[in-house]
Structure 1
Amino acid sequence: MSADVAADVARGREALAPAATRQLRFTLTLRNPTGLALTDQTVWLYLPMKDTTTQHLANVRVSMPHELSQDSLGHSVLRLSLPTVGPFTSKVVTVQAELALRQEAMRVTLIDPSPWLKAERWIECDDAEVRALAATLQRSTQSETLDAIYDWVSSQLVYAGYVADPLGARLALQKRWGDCTEYAYLCCALARARGIAARPVGGYVVNGSAAPRAEDYHDWTEVYLDGAWRVMDAQKRCWRQPAEDYIAFRVHQPVATNALGLAARFKVDGSLDLRM
């Protein structure tokens, strides 16, 4: 997140009262599956993003020593270092995040929209079929075009449940099915094909405080409209309505911006087995 955008977010957080507060609790089990002691093990984990147009991470509590940092996109990156883990032993770590959430998306300055307009892996906005469909969904305003994109994707794709490997926008369009990731990628590709900044986001959708399971992880789209990033979730049918239940952990990006690389939720440097 640039300094200008961070300042806009901070000012908006002061100006707009939060619509809700949430506490998210996670339990991590770190296990040594070997008969040998492991040394110098490091676990990297995404936590809720520090500041977005709809959320503010107010506090984090972890049951062991840790480091928490932010990268250039505003991701919250948790680092756990374990000097020694004995043979066949486990360590349970609890993480609690407290957030303030808003119903209305806060306006932020998008200084450089180019990263969210270009074609990339899985978001093939330059594909001929994607561009042809996007052209049929063009309306007189960006707002109306986004309505048309949302209506088409939410009505024409069939939800396939969890799909292990990403298909991407092009294959999702051809097959007309996929999981939440394909809905997000296709919405992004169609928006970008019409010159509207869009990006896929991963996290959790929770109504109240919760202890989300790993299988609850969800992907959706954010589109930049009228000066703010706004949630468009064609799979769960959320558009043009309050989105304070959406808690962003990671913006999908084609290049690494932190130590997790391109990992979606966590990464282990070493031989530990991690369960959430």
Structure 2
Amino acid sequence: MTVADSFACTVTIRFDPWGYAGDDALEVLLPLPSDDGYQRILNLDAPKGQEFMDVHGHRRLIRLEHGQVATVTARIETQRLALGSYLDLPPPGSADLDEGPMTVSHPALYDLALRSLAGIANHSERISALARATADALRYQYPRDARGAATSLRRGSGDCGEYAFVFVALCRAAGIPARPVFGLITAPWMATPHAWAEAWDGDGWLPVDPNLVREGGYLGPILDTGAATRNHVGALDPYRMVLSRHTGLPWPGAVRQISSDKVEGLSLTLDGLGPVTFWHEAPHWRGKPVVPFLQMPWTVIRNPARPHFALLRRLRPWRFSIRQPSRYLPRSPFVLADIVALHPLKGVAGVVLTSLALPFLPPLAPLLQGVIWVWFGAFALGFLRGMRLMRLRSPLWSRLTAARKRNGEVK
């Protein structure tokens, strides 16, 4: 099987806010990828606007007239970061140690950091210990009502962003510079928004993905990495696009009264900011308007659209697509079954259409029937293998594992 050590693809991000906004025009803050030693930007096409480049990354404030759509297209090349290598980024600053929205300090975070680092002096081992502590403390579940490190630790669940927030908060509690990273996974067989982190070990920045520390046994091979912690602390697969770093990014647009409108699916309570409706306001952090985190383009809507307006636009105002030059085969042949199971709707549609066509293609019928049976077999195998991931995300399994650890049955 071929394994990619570098990867190039074209990513297009599209933002259409007009299903939510009735404004005549909107200011939109776009996250733009930039060179960082891991990724190299070969070409970037985005609307013109006001540029910002700092510790948060590359951003551009643009103006959209009503009905206009913002489109960003980037051709990027990324590379596998081997264990023992560092990201080519400047040393840490105050933003990497100070608390921020989503990573507000809390006694429970300090306590977990203290217990996790007992007897560990080596810098890289301390980072690994905190990544494992984060992985043990959370199970994957999308947070639909509230976000932030303290909230996620208390409820014991969160998505990839919450894993990053908790890990960063633990690092900062231990005096280790760290920050969340927001971007995309651009693997040939797996494309999704994702968040991870970076931590400073005294000599350089290490990438850390605490979500994959927990779920690497299933997701790691799909990304051409292994299941062990070392594959996700200090090493990085070649399938990431970095869009921004840190939380609480300054909002550079016009400062206006914060909206009180709550929109289902967009309104959440954030640890350091309180109730926030995404795309409808720029909440205040330490007296200044901010963007909680910049993965999706951000805007501030003053005139919300009526619920029945542009329903399809409301369903997916932010979307991205990836075009790759080639599809590398996964390192493990079993991962092909996992990939089939991860895309069941596409596979089912193919099987249904093929089955309907069989009566009209008699010479090819035996061959097509064989293809259908092979697909069903791969799907069944992938589904059984995926039970490991479902188990890791199960609340019952998490409680049982925690009980076994308290009893000393699991280290």
Short-chain TM bin: 0.7 to 0.9
* Structure 1 residue aligned with 2:246: 252
Which of the pair has more CA radius of gyration?
Answer: 2
* Structure 2 residue aligned with 1:128: 107
Residue 232 (structure 1) aligned with residue 208 (structure 2): yes
Q: Which amino acid aligns with 1:248?
A: V
Q: 1:60 to 1:117 in 2, by over 3 A?
A: same
Which stretches in structure 2 are left out of the alignment for 5+ residues? 214-231, 254-281, 283-289, 306-312, 319-411
* Structure 2 residue aligned with 1:268: 299
- The answer to whether the 8 Å contact 2:103/2:148 transfers is yes
Q: Secondary structure at the match of 2:200?
A: strand
The correspondence for 2:76, drawn from 99, 102, 111, is 99
Q: 1:257 to 1:92 in 2, by over 3 A?
A: closer
* Structure 1 residue aligned with 2:57: 75
Separation in structure 2 between the aligned mates of residue 269 and residue 115 of structure 1, nearest angstrom: 25
Q: Which amino acid aligns with 1:190?
A: L
Q: 1:71 to 1:159 in 2, by over 3 A?
A: same
Separation in structure 2 between the aligned mates of residue 156 and residue 74 of structure 1, nearest angstrom: 27
Q: Which amino acid aligns with 1:98?
A: R
Query: How far off is 1:174 after superposition?
Result: 2.3
* Structure 1 residue aligned with 2:353: none
Query: How far off is 1:186 after superposition?
Result: 1.0
Higher relative contact order (CA 8 A, sep 6+): 1
Residues 13-48 of structure 1: CA distance to partner in whole angstroms, max 9, x if unpaired?
A: xxxxx93323112234354778x9x64444332122
Residue 59 (structure 1) aligned with residue 43 (structure 2): yes
Q: Secondary structure at the match of 1:71?
A: strand
Number of residues of Structure 1 aligned to a counterpart in Structure 2: 242
Query: How far off is 1:198 after superposition?
Result: 0.5
Residue 176 (structure 1) aligned with residue 156 (structure 2): yes
State the superposition RMSD in angstroms: 3.1
The correspondence for 1:159, drawn from 136, 140, 143, is 140
Residues 187-243 of structure 1: CA distance to partner in whole angstroms, max 9, x if unpaired?
A: 011111221100112111111499x6xxx3222211122533222111133324333
- The answer to whether the 8 Å contact 1:137/1:148 transfers is yes
Separation in structure 1 between the aligned mates of residue 160 and residue 185 of structure 2, nearest angstrom: 12
Q: Which has the higher strand share?
A: 1
Separation in structure 1 between the aligned mates of residue 30 and residue 54 of structure 2, nearest angstrom: 16
- The answer to whether the 8 Å contact 2:50/2:62 transfers is no
Query: How far off is 1:57 after superposition?
Result: 2.5
The correspondence for 2:8, drawn from 17, 21, 24, is 21
Q: 1:269 to 1:137 in 2, by over 3 A?
A: closer
TM-score, normalised by the number of residues in structure 2:
0.51
Separation in structure 2 between the aligned mates of residue 181 and residue 249 of structure 1, nearest angstrom: 14
Residue 43 (structure 1) aligned with residue 28 (structure 2): yes
Q: Secondary structure at the match of 1:206?
A: strand
* Structure 2 residue aligned with 1:117: 97
Q: Which amino acid aligns with 2:44?
A: V
Q: Which amino acid aligns with 1:144?
A: E
Q: Which amino acid aligns with 1:21?
A: A
Separation in structure 1 between the aligned mates of residue 26 and residue 150 of structure 2, nearest angstrom: 39
Separation in structure 1 between the aligned mates of residue 207 and residue 180 of structure 2, nearest angstrom: 10
Separation in structure 2 between the aligned mates of residue 120 and residue 102 of structure 1, nearest angstrom: 30
Separation in structure 1 between the aligned mates of residue 249 and residue 60 of structure 2, nearest angstrom: 19
Separation in structure 1 between the aligned mates of residue 101 and residue 40 of structure 2, nearest angstrom: 30
Which stretches in structure 1 are left out of the alignment for 5+ residues? 1-17
Q: Secondary structure at the match of 2:247?
A: coil
Separation in structure 2 between the aligned mates of residue 244 and residue 40 of structure 1, nearest angstrom: 38
Q: Secondary structure at the match of 1:146?
A: helix
TM-score, normalised by the number of residues in structure 1:
0.73
The correspondence for 1:145, drawn from 105, 108, 126, is 126
**Larger displacement relative to structure 2 (198-207 or 171-180):** 171-180
Separation in structure 2 between the aligned mates of residue 100 and residue 200 of structure 1, nearest angstrom: 21
Give the percent of matched residue pairs that are identical in Structure 1 and Structure 2. 21
Separation in structure 2 between the aligned mates of residue 33 and residue 137 of structure 1, nearest angstrom: 44
- The answer to whether the 8 Å contact 1:44/1:80 transfers is yes
Q: 1:176 to 1:101 in 2, by over 3 A?
A: same
Q: Secondary structure at the match of 2:54?
A: coil
Separation in structure 1 between the aligned mates of residue 79 and residue 62 of structure 2, nearest angstrom: 30
